Structure formats: C-alpha cells, structure tokens
Amino acid sequence: MLEDWDFFVLEPGEGFLEPQKVFDNQKPLHLEIGSGKGEFLSQYAPLHPQWNFLGLEAADKRIRNILKKINSERHSNVRLMRMMVDAGIAQLLPPESVACVYIQHPDPWPKRRHHRRRLFQPEFLKALAQVMEPGAELHIATDHKEYSIWIAEMMLKQAEYVSLQNEVIQNSPSLQDHVATWYETEQRRQGFEPHFMLFKRI
Ligand SMILES: C[S@@+](CC[C@H](N)C(=O)[O-])C[C@H]1O[C@@H](n2cnc3c(N)ncnc32)[C@H](O)[C@@H]1O
C-alpha cells in the first residue's frame, strides 16, 4: 500500500507540476477533479493508454479508496494528488497543459447559504480555462437538477467555453465509454437521473 502511495500520489511542490517529468512521456494529460472512490480512473484509464490521467481529490480517505482499485501495472498512466481544487489550479498546472477535464458529481451544496462553496464559480472557471489547451473538452455530470442549471449558467457566461451539445444539459452520457461512478450508481438507485454537459475550451 505504501509502495502504491509513493508511486501514485504526488506531493505538491514549488512551481508548476511538470507532466512530462511525472509520467516520463509526452502523452496528453487528462484531469479528473473530485475522483471520489476511483471508479472512473480505475476503469477508464486502462482503456486509454494513449493518455495520462491525473486525479485531484480533496479527501485523504478517498485517495486510499482509489489506491485499492489501481495498481502500477494496469494503471501506469494514472497519478493522484490530494488537493482542494479551486482557482489555485492555475498555480499547479502549466498554462494550456490539459487536454481534457472530467468533473463528475461535484458536491452540490444544496443550501443557498452554502452555494459559495460550490466548485463552479467564475474564478475557478477562468483558472481552469488557463490550464486547458484550446480545443480541450470539459465533461461534467451531476445528479442534482438545480446544480446542473447553476453549472450551465456559469459555463455559458464564460467566454472561454462553448457547449458541444445541442441541449446544454442532456440525459445521456457525453462519453462513449461512459463509466458509472459510485455517486451515479447510488443516486440512480434513489431515483435521481444524472445530467450530462460537454464544453470545449475555445
Ligand atoms: C459527491 S463526490 C463524487 C465522487 C465521484 N466523482 C463520483 O462520481 O462518485 C465528490 C468528491 O469530490 C471531492 N471534492 C469535493 N470538493 C473538492 C474540491 N474542491 N477539490 C477536489 N476534490 C473535491 C470529495 O472529497 C468527493 O470525493
């Protein structure tokens, strides 16, 4: 387990993280924010060895959950970092270094007085746009209807992004090889259908 931790978990350092050094190759970097229990990284990354995957996850416990699902043979293209993501992401990753971003079931913070804790805020979206390459995709899923509308409104106000779907919010996954995450499965069981969005960094 400790060996896995050393292989997979990156420690924040001075200056930008250098993806080419971390993965020892030049493959495009895909970023998952809020990796939870790791269903997506553990199932999706082995299907796409042509890409590198970095999972940013705030909770130590979740990092440990993810480590139980991955191993250095099948998941050599995966790394994790424990980080509470916000606009500071522009200090972590070099400008235009990310080819694709996945944010699946971000905490909805449903109470109005907690809305300011939501990840989708203008400052964060501007910072995320800085680290995304032009043309990079942002895949979003949430089971929370009101938060899906909040996200769509925030995204459409940002000049850096454009929706790639006819309907900005739709009920079918934006990824062909969609992985049902723990939250998606759990929320569906409780009767909440996920909402999917797909944007491109202009
Ligand atoms: C509702 S869960 C969804 C997890 C997973 N994506 C899924 O669909 O099963 C939200 C996850 O995001 C993490 N998280 C919440 N805010 C975060 C932030 N600002 N930066 C990184 N991770 C965050 C939480 O610790 C939790 O694991």
Q: Is the pLDDT of residue 61 over 70?
A: yes
Instruction: Give the pLDDT band of residue 3 (cuts 50, 70, 90).
Output: low
What does the pLDDT average to over 165-174? 97
Q: What is the DSSP letter of 117?
A: G
Pocket-testing residue among 54, 183, 185, 188, ligand 1, by greatest number of atoms within 8 A of Cβ: 183
Cβ 97 under 6 angstroms from ligand 1: no
Nearest CA to ligand 1 atom 14: 34
Q: What is the DSSP string of 48-79?
A: -TTSEEEEEES-HHHHHHHHTT--TTTTTTEE
Cβ 75 under 6 angstroms from ligand 1: no
When the candidates are 1.10.3720.10, 3.40.718.10, 1.10.10.10, 3.40.50.150, the CATH number that belongs to 2-10+26-201 is: 3.40.50.150
Per-residue exposure over 162-183, b if at least 16 CB sit within 10 Å of its own CB, e if not: ebeeeebbeeebbbeebbbbeb
pTM flag (> 0.85): yes
pLDDT in tens, 75-109: 999 999 999 999 999 999 999 999 999 999 999 99
Residue in 94, 79, 100 with CA at minimum distance from that of residue 35? 79
What does the pLDDT average to over 177-195? 97
Q: Which atom of ligand 1 approaches the CA of 86 most closely?
A: 19
Mean model confidence pLDDT for the chain: 97
Distance 58 CA to ligand 1 centre (A): 7
Cβ 117 under 6 angstroms from ligand 1: no
> Is position 107 annotated as part of the catalytic site?
yes
Q: Is the pLDDT of residue 1 over 80?
A: no
- What proportion of the chain, given as a percentage, has pLDDT over 70? 99
Nearest CA to ligand 1 atom 26: 36
Q: Is the pLDDT of residue 123 over 70?
A: yes
What does the pLDDT average to over 21-34? 98
Distance 3 CA to ligand 1 centre (A): 24
Q: Where are the domains of the chain?
A: 2-10+26-201
